[in-house]
Copies of this chain bind each other. A is one copy, B any other.
Amino acid sequence: MNPKVIAFDADDTLWHNEPYFDEAQAKFCDLFRDFGSHQEILRLILTHQVRNLPLYGFGIKAFTLSMIESALELTNHQISGNDIQKVIQIGKELLAKPVELLPNVVEVLEALKGKYKLIVATKGDLKDQHRKLHDSGLGHYFHHIEVMSDKTDSDYQKMLGRLDILPQDFMMIGNSLKSDVLPVLNIGGYGIHIPYHTTWEYEKIDFEVQHPNFKAIENITEVLSLV
């Protein structure tokens, strides 16, 4: 593989993220345990999140608003103001979580630096992703930070167009086959999958990826032997 530009997803690729969401959802389920099982409540949150995607997009503010709507539905609108406040607090705590880098991330970026143009391409809240990148201390490795409102074929195409990058020069590395790999393969780039131990339900796909420009690896250090 011979890319000129290497883009990294951020959440669960550069730093831990999903466990914080899982923890937040567990707190929410506990708060409303009289109204449903954990599994039922998780399904309800996901329903609201997916329904709200076209209006809200991704990120913690959208997640908080979807939790509030889930709480209203669960309690048949009989929820107390104090419980609404607790749900808002769950969201605010997520926005203040420390950034914990995944193993070997710094070593890999250090090795790639100067040889390739490095980019972060992530979904989520603009403010929150900028905050995490700042707190991560990784900012100086990257030529460009792109917070994307979605990661479809056309979102990648627009990004590459604006940054004057040819698809065949572009490699995307991330933990989501659906968002980081498939759309990039579709537009002619390289897609590298590094699974994270837990995946948001929405990002799951139920088929195997087979493509000459695709590679699944276990650890981010394997990127160095691909390029």
Within 8 A of B (CB), among A137-187: 143-145, 147-150, 162
Give, as a whole number of angstroms, the nearest-CB distance from A66 to chain B.
Answer: 10
**Contact A77-B77, Cβ < 8 Å, known A65-B61, A147-B126, A149-B127:** no
- Looking at chain A, what size class is its interface with the partner chain? 35 or more
Within 8 A of B (CB), among A107-132: 125-128, 130
- In the complex, which residue of chain B has the Cβ closest to the Cβ of A95? B55
A84 interface hit (Cβ, 8 Å): yes
Check A77–B88 contact: CB distance below 8 A: no
A85 interface hit (Cβ, 8 Å): yes
- In the complex, which residue of chain B has the Cβ closest to the Cβ of A94? B55
Check B80–A77 contact: CB distance below 8 A: yes
**Contact A126-B80, Cβ < 8 Å, known A85-B72, A88-B65, A162-B143:** no
Give, as a whole number of angstroms, the nearest-CB distance from A76 to chain B.
Answer: 8
Give, as a whole number of angstroms, the nearest-CB distance from A138 to chain B.
Answer: 15
A18: chain B residues at CB < 8 Å are none
A81: chain B residues at CB < 8 Å are 72, 75-79
A147: chain B residues at CB < 8 Å are 126, 147
**Which 9 pairs show the lowest CB-CB distances between chains A and B?**
A57-B127, A77-B81, A61-B61, A127-B149, A126-B149, A55-B95, A79-B81, A130-B149, A72-B81
